[in-house]
Structure 1
Amino acid sequence: MHQDIPEIPANATPQEILQAGVAAAKGPVSLACSFSVEDVVIIDMAKELSLPIGVFALDTGRLHEEAYEVADAIMERYRIKIDWYYPRHEAVEKLLREKGTYSFRESLENRHECCHIRKVEPLGRALSGLGGWITGLRREQSVTRTGLAPIEIDTNNGGILKLNPLLEWTEAQVWEYAKARRIPTNRLHGQGYPSIGCAPCTRPVAPGEHPRGGRWWWENPEHKECGLHRR
């Protein structure tokens, strides 16, 4: 799919990035929702702008209970549906039989295998037929995200557009918006979880610790991606 990246002013707002990306995409656009505060902020913005975007979620089989609570709150508040995608059960069963329940902590290779089965492969199915997808990525979150652009061509997923409308926002700006709009938020954020992934791979961070310090805490910072956002 050949896509053209629209010109985005350096000081563009998240709302302007969303509007430009949705307008430029050659096909439907959906948000990949992990039920973080960033994702709910984007849903709220899209609804305010009456943008025709879908919402999908990847249920890895190891999500926190709080994720489902937020999902229900989002559907009730915004009157939207969430399209759920699950890993292939045969692949999960094979992984657990052959390597056990916590193989992802034994090596980076094993962790990438688990993430591929539970996240990357289902994402491929979720993006099939789309002209673009939206993420809640922010530049300050990780050293792996410094090279991102507000709107990109996603060469890993068929050349569709990838929209990162909150890229330049700080954590403080996200929460200022969330509180002003009184949007539903994940209870784990209030318990020391600035970044939330699968339950076995996420823990609270200490005061002053990097926001991504609770994700795959046994790995080096440059490895802390699951494969959904390969560079």
Structure 2
Amino acid sequence: MRIVVIGGTGLIGTQVVRLLGDSGHDAVAASPSTGVDTLSGQGLTEALRGADVVVDVTNSPSFEEDVARDFFVRSTRNQIAAGQETGVRHHVALSIIGVDRLPGIGYYRAKVAQEEALRDGGVPYSVVRAAQFFEFVGPVMDMGTQGTEVRLPSTQLRPIASADVARAVADAAQGQPLGNFREIAGPELHRLDRLGEITLAARPDGRTVVTDENAGLFAGVPDGILTGDETVERAATRYEDWLKQD
């Protein structure tokens, strides 16, 4: 199959392109650097011509709700229109576990709008909802750093390696449209403050973790929202093992 990966030069996209290529598919990365702008539609129809599947792993340039909503909705609608014109048979999008259960977070509301645009677009589709990536723990810690303290809430997560997310997205692209979402998370439950402690134990830099239930984007999120329930599909890679890989 010919599979076009929108956002195919990013963290998830590059891995998806490689996995699909290794499986014998004609996998093509599409992004602004390859001349494809999903917001304006420039280069999109040309990129999707002859494609069987389009995979969308793009991300908004901002977490601000209005900017993110405009990006996700307009980008998705442009992809759907170009896909209908070129005969794409399956549209796969990457989203977030718990995205429809956190109306207080503007970025999550924007992602819900993206899912709705895809669902209402009239194309066969699949959505992969993934837990927070291991790769995001470091930036979240940096955002919560005040001097030598890393202030983090005890929010419950089931984080996952980006490689395992990419594998789930590639599997979805090679399968039949779900007309729904599939959830995937890491193998272990962690508290965000504990993840910070694990990170600094493996990579000490002079900072210490302070539990602060009011700190950061995930402050006050109830248990079970960002983890999926007991039926969620669980990848194999553990956070401590991932830390040792770098």
Larger radius of gyration, structure 1 or 2?
Answer: 2
Q: TM-score, normalised by structure 2?
A: 0.27
- When normalised by structure 1's length, the TM-score is 0.28
The structure carrying a bigger strand percent of its residues is 2
